[in-house]
Each structure stands twice: as C-alpha cells, then as structure tokens.
Amino acid sequence: MKYMVYLTSPTLRDTISLRPFDRMQSTRQDILSHLQRHPAASVGDLATRLGMSLGTIRHHLSVLERAGLVSHEVLRQEIGRPRMVYSLSERGEESFPKQYDRLSAALLTEIKAQHGDEALMALIRGAARRLTESMGITDLPADAYEVRLQSLLKLMDRDGNSLEWKLENGRVQIHQHTCPYQAVAGQHPEVCQFDRELIGCVMGKPVRQIASRIKGDSHCAYEIDLDGSKQG
C-alpha cells in the first residue's frame, strides 16, 4: 500500500509517494521543521499546524525526545494549568543543513589570496597544535602511545570519521573511510593536511600518508612510526 503525503514549506508544496515507515519519518521531519521556525510549541499547536491528532503528535514527540532531537519545558501561567512546550535541542538544531562548507571554502580562498599558500599551511599546523594542547595530550609521557592513540581515535570519530586501525611491527595504520572535508577538499586540498598534522601532534611521531581520496584511492590512510624520532 502507498500513501500520498503533502509536504509543505514556505515556498514549495510537493506530492510524494511514501511507504508507511517513510511517512512516519516525514511527519517527524515536519515536526522538527515547525519547531525550528516556531520554538516553544505545544502539542496542540503542532496538531493544528500539521493537521494531526493530539495522540499522534505526542507519539512522534516522544520518539524525537528519546532520540535527543527535541526537549520540553513546563511554562507556568498566572491563569490556568501549566503549559508544556517543545523546542529543538542542540542536537536537533545540528540535524539541519548548514552552510559551513561554503563559508569554509570562502575563508580558505581569502586567506590564500591575501597571505599565500604557506600562510594557510601555517594556520592549519597551528590549529592542529592548539587542538592537541586543548586536549591535554601534550602533558602525557612521550611513550604513552596507547593513551595517545585512543584520544586521537575518539577525537577523529567525534568529527564524523569512520575509522579502522591496526598495529603491526611498531607501526600504526589509521584508515579513514569517510571524509569530513569532502565538500571543501576538491577546491582546497590543503585541508587534507589538517588530519595528518593532528595525528602527528597527538602521537608525537612522524606520520606518512599512504592513501588519499583526492589522489584516487578509495579512502585516506596514515601510518605512524612508533619507533621514529619525535614529531617536530
């Protein structure tokens, strides 16, 4: 069975054919979109706006709240019962598309235009060092490789990387199957050096890039020589 669902935005109204599961996802996205434009909305507000029953809205809000995408608060009024309203959580706000890639590309272009390629690379190296210092890793013993590696993997995973790693013959290989800079790297391949610099700063050891997506490989990969000299 197929369902015809109407999706409404300020400028567009489309008719699409959806399976039941897709329809639920669409309804939840409609709720999130409404809360983005109209925070602190009640169940009644949402039911009226989306043309659904109060029970249906409560069910979807419960799912979204368990997923950490919305939160609620109780507003006490001078007259009448307290009013429960819903708004997007920080995670919910982050689920909407942002223009970070466009802004990043524009800033990188301007830095190179005003200061040159070497200045951009100096900024990338400085950013990697500063991030490492903020994590407190520079205070770890130089030979605390396991702690340093776990800190590195946790940091890169938080930034949206899908990672695999292995240790063999005194060398660590990190395979990076997703690229958080993909939308920018084509125009500014220098950004790919950030992860290499970050790995070197965290591990305190030389890093060699052994695979690169922008050079045609299926993913990026780095090799760290644990027996090598200290990273400069």
What is the distance between the alpha carbons of residues 181 and 176, in angstroms, rounded to a whole number? 12
Mean of pLDDT over the chain: 82
Same domain, 218 and 122: yes
Band of residue 57 on the pLDDT scale cut at 50, 70, 90: very high
Q: How many domains does the chain have?
A: 2
Instruction: Give residue 24's pLDDT.
Output: 66
Domain finish residue from 68, 94, 120: 94
Q: What is the DSSP letter of 103?
A: H
CATH number at residue 73: 1.10.10.10
49-63, 67-81, 137-151: least confidently modelled range: 137-151
At 22 the pLDDT is: 54
Closest-CA residue to 33 (of 124, 97, 115): 97
Sign (positive/negative) of CA torsion 91, 102, 220, 191? negative
Rounded Cα gap, residues 213 and 218, in angstroms: 6
Residue 182 belongs to domain with CATH number: 3.30.1380
Assess whether 203 and 112 both reside in one domain: yes
- Structural domain of 19: 3-94
Q: What is the pLDDT of residue 228?
A: 66
Q: How confident is the model at residue 160, as a pLDDT?
A: 65
pLDDT tens digits, 142-166: 778 888 888 888 888 776 667 888 8
Cα separation, 105 vs 186, in Å, equals: 10
